[in-house]
Amino acid sequence: MTSATLAPDRPAPRRTVRSGRRLTRASGLGLGVAMLWFSLLVLIPLTAVVVTASDGGWAEFWATVTNQQTLAAIELTVGTAFLVTLINIVMGTTIAWVLVRDDRFVGRRVLEVLIDIPFALPTIVAGLVLLSLYGPDSPLGVNIANTRVAVFFAFLFVTLPFVVRTVQPVLAELDREAEEAAASLGASRFTVFRRIILPSLTPAIAAGAALSFARGVSEYGSLVLLSGNLPMRTEVTSVRILSSIENDNLEGAAAVAAVLLVISFVVIVAVDVIQRRVVRRG
C-alpha cells in the first residue's frame, strides 16, 4: 500500500528505459529468425543427441564411455586436437602476420588464396592426398601412415585456416599509430607486440582456436585413410561413433558424441575465459 502512495511522486525514468528496450518491428523479426534458425540447426539437434544418449540409462552410458577402446579414442582425439590448436595459435598468427604486414613477400597473394583450400577440399579427397604424399609410396620419403602422427597431421591440415582467417582482418584494421607511439616512447619490439598488438588480437586468436579445436575433435574424412583406425592406437572418436552406429547402437554413439560435446563446450568456455584475462592484463 505504501508503494501505491509513493508511486505518483516517483519520476519516470524507468519507463523511458523500457521503451528504449522495446523491439522495433525489424529487430523483432530479426530476433525471431535468429532464434528459429539457431533452434533448428543447433539447439534441437544437440538436445536430441543428449536425449538419445540418455535413452540407455546411466549405467549403460557410463559403460559405453568408459570402455577402454573408447577412452583411448577420446584421449587421442582430444589430446591431438589440443596440441594442434596450440600450434595453430602460433602458426596461424604468424601466417596472418605475413599476409597483412609483410609487404616484401611476393608470394603473399598466392598464399592468400591457397590458405582456404583445406576448407574447400572435401575431406576424403584431403585424406587421399595426404595418403599419397605421406603414405608408404611417399614421393617425399615421409611415411607416417597408420601412426598417431597421421592423425596429428590430418588435424593440422583441416584446421589451418581458422586462426589465420580470424586474426587477419583484425590485424589489418589495427591502428599502427599506437605501435609507433609506444616505439617512440622507447618500448622494445617485443614489448610493443605483447602490450599493444597481442591484446587486440587475443579475441580473434581465441575465436580461431576454439573453432580449430572443435573442428579437430570432430574430424573424420581426412584421416580415415591415413590413420589406419587401429584400436587403442590410431582410432579417433568419430570412428568409434561410426562403429556404434553400424552396430545399431544409437545410444552408444550418442553417448560418445555427448562426451565430445561436453569436452568441446568446456574447452570453448575455457578459451573465452583465458582470452578475457589476457585482454584485461594487456
Q: Where do contacts with another protein occur on this chain (CB under 8 A)?
A: 22-23, 25, 28-33, 35-36, 40, 67-69, 72, 128, 131-132, 135-137, 145-146, 224-225, 228-233, 235, 239, 242-249, 252
Angle between helix 68-101 and 198-217 (nearest 10): 140
C-alpha span between 93 and 20 (Å, rounded) = 41
User: Least distance in Å: CB of 166 to another protein?
Assistant: 29
Residue number, 200 or 249, with CB nearest to another protein = 249
User: Least distance in Å: CB of 222 to another protein?
Assistant: 12
User: Least distance in Å: CB of 185 to another protein?
Assistant: 51
Residue number, 22 or 280, with CB nearest to another protein = 22
* Structure-derived torsion over alpha carbons of residues 51, 57, 59, 62, reported in degrees to the nearest 10: -10
User: Least distance in Å: CB of 137 to another protein?
Assistant: 4
Residue number, 230 or 266, with CB nearest to another protein = 230
3-state secondary structure of 106: coil
User: Least distance in Å: CB of 253 to another protein?
Assistant: 10
| Residue 16 dihedral angles phi and psi, to the nearest 5° | -65, -40
C-alpha span between 25 and 37 (Å, rounded) = 18
Own/partner contacts of 121-125, CB < 8 Å, gap of 24 or more, are 122/221, 123/158, 123/219, 123/220, 123/221, 123/222, 124/221, 124/222, 124/224, 124/225
Residue number, 29 or 114, with CB nearest to another protein = 29
User: Least distance in Å: CB of 26 to another protein?
Assistant: 10
Residue number, 57 or 169, with CB nearest to another protein = 57
Residue number, 54 or 146, with CB nearest to another protein = 146
> Cβ(130)–Cβ(59) under 8 Å?
no
DSSP 8-class letter at 24? P
